[in-house]
């Protein structure tokens, strides 16, 4: 009940298809990432399958760096979706367990949940799949520093710009 009453800084951007949550990161834009959903403590992001992100041309498997970016971005968004006030964040640690190769030709989906938030550190679990969430090809544990930089974060700028603020 208390969680339902909690104020979330990113609440104005909760929902599906939030382009402004990707377009401030050039690498994510280049990869063609799309935000599928953002809500309290959770984010789901899609990485469209394209030949240019294939790391193994024989097996047509997506390059591991693109998968890392997918899970890192979903994790960061889950942290932002947990904060009562927007602050900059930085990835402290990101461990990915590759359970199998992702099936070629499929878009990849990463979903992350911020399961614990302290004053300065956020803890995240994530997984990535191509067909069914119940059959992930990778799982992830990550920690993020909250308030890593006193400047306005890119997500905070996106929220400010959406609300027509200055600064």
The token pair at 81 is 């979706």
pLDDT at residue 4, as a whole number: 52
Q: Which residues contact 88 (CB under 8 A, 6 or more apart)?
A: 147, 148, 149, 150, 151, 152, 153, 156
Nearest of 114, 144, 142, 108 to residue 128 by alpha carbon: 108
The domain tally of the chain equals 1
Average pLDDT over residues 23-44: 92
Q: Whole-angstrom Cα distance, residue 89 to residue 59? A: 36
For residue 117, tell me if it sits in a domain: yes
Q: Tell me if 74 sits within 8 A of 60, measured CB to CB.
A: no
pLDDT band at residue 2 using 50, 70 and 90 as cut-offs:
very low
Specify the CATH number for the domain of residue 140. 3.10.129.10
Using pLDDT thresholds of 50, 70 and 90, give the confidence band for residue 153. low
The answer to whether residue 113 is domain-embedded is yes
- H/E element holding 63? none
Range of the domain at 25: 2-159
The mean-pLDDT minimum among 18-22, 55-59, 139-143 falls in 18-22
Q: Is 79 contained in some domain?
A: yes
pLDDT tens-digit series, residues 58-112? 888 898 899 999 999 999 999 999 999 888 899 999 999 999 999 999 999 999 9
pTM: 0.86
Percent of the chain past pLDDT 90, that is, above it, reads 59
Q: How far is CA 22 from CA 19, 64, 83, 104, in A?
A: 6, 20, 18, 24
In a domain, 165, yes or no: no
Residue 116 lies in a domain: yes
pLDDT of 118? 95
Q: Within 10 A of 56 (CB to CB), how many other CB atoms are there?
A: 12
pLDDT of 34 reads 95
CA gap 142, 58 in Å, rounded: 31
């Amino acid at each position: 009940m208390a969680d339902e009453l909690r104020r979330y800084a990113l609440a104005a951007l909760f929902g599906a298809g939030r382009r402004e949550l990707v377009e401030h990161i050039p690498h994510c834009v280049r990869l063609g990432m799309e935000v599928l959903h953002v809500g309290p403590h959770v984010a789901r992001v899609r990485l469209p399958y394209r030949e240019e992100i294939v790391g193994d041309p024989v097996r047509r498997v997506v390059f591991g760096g693109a998968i890392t970016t997918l899970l890192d971005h979903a994790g960061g968004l889950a942290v932002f979706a947990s904060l009562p006030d927007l602050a900059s964040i930085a990835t402290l640690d990101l461990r990915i367990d590759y359970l199998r190769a992702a099936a070629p030709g499929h878009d990849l989906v990463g979903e992350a949940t911020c399961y614990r938030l302290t004053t300065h550190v956020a803890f995240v679990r994530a997984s990535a799949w191509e067909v069914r969430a119940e059959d992930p090809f990778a799982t992830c544990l990550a920690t993020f520093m909250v308030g890593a930089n006193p400047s306005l974060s890119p997500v905070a700028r996106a929220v400010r710009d959406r609300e027509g603020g200055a600064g």
